[in-house]
């Protein structure tokens, strides 16, 4: 299924061809003839011979299949089409749009989105610029979001969105600095306990462990120098560890309840 948004016309447009899972994209310089209204038996013209092709890409979208996942194609600073990017996973990242675009060398808005439901054959393509296509298509309003279109075509996707939002609440509810402090406190306390047990071993047992772990003595010296308990009392370390673990358990409990309810 191909979905065109009502973008009107512009100084360039997309020529889109779909055959099975094979997609051919061509960005064309010029103003296309507007597509005929949905339902009318009217032939969509090809781009004019000799028109400047600004970018071109062919791909087999089935190679990217992942259930209930949205992919998007962007362009880089040189005007080349990039490989499809999993924007469903992007939604779960902390880095934000600007860092995401920089890391992936993105220099444009979305050109094309494609979404898979539960099987490779359950998909649609959605263009984000004026488009010509020889394929059948439907037109959606300019201001409709991708998630709204997905829910309209695949109503059960609403449950997936609910689970995704709960997972995002879980991920974003955990502050990196809090997690790091709690994990460091737990690790150093466990290391203290382990070294305390080591210290009550016999000389023969210590020698056997040192032979099996040549880095042991260097580790003990370094740990004595840099462990977090040198700057925080043990009760403070335990407090940070307990805070982090309780917060994680509470967020996980909420997430797993939502997931169970919407599966």
| Residue-range domain boundaries for the chain | 2-155, 171-262
Report the pLDDT value the prediction gives residue 199, as an integer from 0 to 100: 92
pLDDT, average across residues 233-241: 90
- The answer for residues whose C-beta is within 8 angstroms of residue 29's C-beta and 6 or more apart is 11, 12, 51, 52, 53, 54
Mean per-residue pLDDT of the chain: 84
* pLDDT tier for residue 190 given thresholds of 50, 70 and 90: very high
Q: Which residues pair with 14 in a beta bridge?
A: 27, 131
Report the pLDDT value the prediction gives residue 9, as an integer from 0 to 100: 61
Residue 125 buriedness (CB in 10 A; 0-12 / 13-18 / 19+): buried
Report the alpha-carbon distance of residue 246 to residue 178 in Å, rounded: 12
* C-alpha distances out from residue 198 to 26, 187, 194, 212, 216, Å: 68, 16, 6, 14, 11
Give the pLDDT confidence of 144-175 residue by residue, as tens digits. Answer: 778 888 888 888 888 888 888 888 888 888 88
Residue with structure tokens 């805070």?
Answer: 243
pTM: 0.66
């Amino acid at each position: 299924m191909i979905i065109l948004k009502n973008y009107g016309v512009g100084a360039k447009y997309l020529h889109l061809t779909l055959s099975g899972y094979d997609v051919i994209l061509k960005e064309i310089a010029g103003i296309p003839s507007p597509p005929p209204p949905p339902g009318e038996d009217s032939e969509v013209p090809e781009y004019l011979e000799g028109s400047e092709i600004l970018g071109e890409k062919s791909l087999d979208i089935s190679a990217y299949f992942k259930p209930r996942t949205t992919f998007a194609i962007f362009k880089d600073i040189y005007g080349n089409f990039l490989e499809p990017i999993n924007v469903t996973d992007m939604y779960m990242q902390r880095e934000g749009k600007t860092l995401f675009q920089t890391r992936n060398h993105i220099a444009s808005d979305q050109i094309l989105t494609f979404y898979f439901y539960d099987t490779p054959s359950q998909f649609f393509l959605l263009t984000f610029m004026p488009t010509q296509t020889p394929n059948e298509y439907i037109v959606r309003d300019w201001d409709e979001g991708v998630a709204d279109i997905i829910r309209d075509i695949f109503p059960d996707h609403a449950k997936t969105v609910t689970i995704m939002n709960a997972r995002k609440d879980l991920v974003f509810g955990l502050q990196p600095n809090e997690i790091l402090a709690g994990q460091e406190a737990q690790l150093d306390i466990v290391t203290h306990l382990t070294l305390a047990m080591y210290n009550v071993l016999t000389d023969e047992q210590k020698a056997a462990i040192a032979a099996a772990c040549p880095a042991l003595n260097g580790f003990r010296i370094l740990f004595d120098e840099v462990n977090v308990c040198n700057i925080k009392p043990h009760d403070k370390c335990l407090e940070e560890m307990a805070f982090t673990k309780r917060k994680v358990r509470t967020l996980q409990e909420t997430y797993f309840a939502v997931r169970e309810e919407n599966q």
